[in-house]
Amino acid sequence: MSAELTQPVGQSAQQQEPRKVVPVWLFVLLFLLLYWSMVYFDQRGAWFNEQVYAPYHSFDQVVAFQPPSGEADFLAKGKQLFSANCAVCHMETGVGNIGNNCPNLVGSEWVSAAGPGRLIRIVSKGATGPIEVSGKVWSGGTMLNIGDVMPGDEPQKAENIAAILSYVRKAFGNNAGPVTPEEVAAVREQIKSRTTFYSPEELKAAPEK
């Protein structure tokens, strides 16, 4: 075995190789790359928001591309909410239920009133006491404050109530004007401190509009 082979290779290489300084431009490039990647992530990564998928870059962009809601969509939403919240007593067809003294919505003068003022009060705070609807007195029934206990924050509640009322005023052969979320929000602002159910007399004293 020759002497060259037994000599440790690494040691001699270490001794012969002069130390080299890493060029400064490499650090600058690294820093620029890091900076660019952070800016890219900030602009297009949406900070790992679970509701943002490609091709959208940010939550705001997803919000901007939401399809605008037409009148038909609003009524469809009202129908959905009516089925979930109201139909258990008023029935899907709006005929009411004699069994638990729940008045009809079909052809009801309360529903087809000139403005939704009283309806918003009933749905928001509830109503109890004998009430005359379509010439028949319904007594012993109580409507709960469904509008207040609905899930969601105040603007969502106003929108949901407006959708339900718009649907009720258009469906079942009724033909009254739609209800806007702004109208609902305005009335709910006036009655927000109330905690008791309305009586029919109080409702009649409230403005229709």
Partner 1 sequence: MNLGPLIFLAAFFSLACSWFGFVLTPQLQIGRLEQTNTVPAGALYPVMRPGLARQGLGVYRANGCAYCHSQQIVQTGTVCDVILTDPGTNQAALLVALRQLRPLLSETEDKEMMTGLPKTVRQGLSKEEASDLVKTLNSTSAKAAIWIVPIGSDISRGWGIRRTVAEDFIFDYPVMLGSHRVGPDLANVGVRLSDANWHLRHLYAPRSEAKDSAMPPYRFLFEKRRIEKTRSPEAVVLPPELAPEPGYEILPKPEATALAAYLVSLRANEPIFSAPVSVAAAPLAPDTNAPAGGAASSTNAPLTNAPAAK
Please give the residues from 134 up to 193 whose contact with partner 1 meets the rule CB under 8 A: 163, 167, 170-175
Fill in the amino acid letter for 141: G
Pick from 208, 13, 198, 6: nearest CA to 110: 208
Query: Which of 87/206 has CB closer to partner 1?
Result: 87
Instruction: Enter the DSSP assignment of 137.
Output: E
Separate counts of helices (H) and strands (E) for the chain: 11, 4
Instruction: Enter the DSSP assignment of 114.
Output: S
Task: Select from 8, 10, 18, 67 the one that contacts partner 1 (CB under 8 A).
Answer: 67
If one asks whether residue 54 binds partner 1 (CB under 8 A), the answer comes out as: yes
If one asks whether residue 133 binds partner 1 (CB under 8 A), the answer comes out as: no
Each residue of 141-158: b (16+ CB within 10 Å) or e?
A: bebebbbbebeeeeeebb
Query: Which of 18/67 has CB closer to partner 1?
Result: 67
CB of 32 to partner 1, least distance (A): 24
CB of 106 to partner 1, least distance (A): 6
Number of residues near partner 1 (by CB under 8 A):
39
Task: Select from 1, 22, 64, 114 the one that contacts partner 1 (CB under 8 A).
Answer: 64
**Cα 158 to Cα 166: distance, rounded to the nearest angstrom:** 12
Q: Say if CB 168 and CB 116 are below 8 A apart.
A: no
Query: Which of 75/127 has CB closer to partner 1?
Result: 75
Query: Which of 150/206 has CB closer to partner 1?
Result: 150
Pick from 33, 51, 48, 127: nearest CA to 89: 127
Q: Are strands 142-143 and 131-133 parallel, antiparallel or unpaired?
A: unpaired
Please give the residues from 69 up to 128 whose contact with partner 1 meets the rule CB under 8 A: 69-77, 79-81, 93-95, 106-107
Binding residues vs partner 1 (CB under 8 A): 48, 50-56, 62, 64-77, 79-81, 93-95, 106-107, 163, 167, 170-175
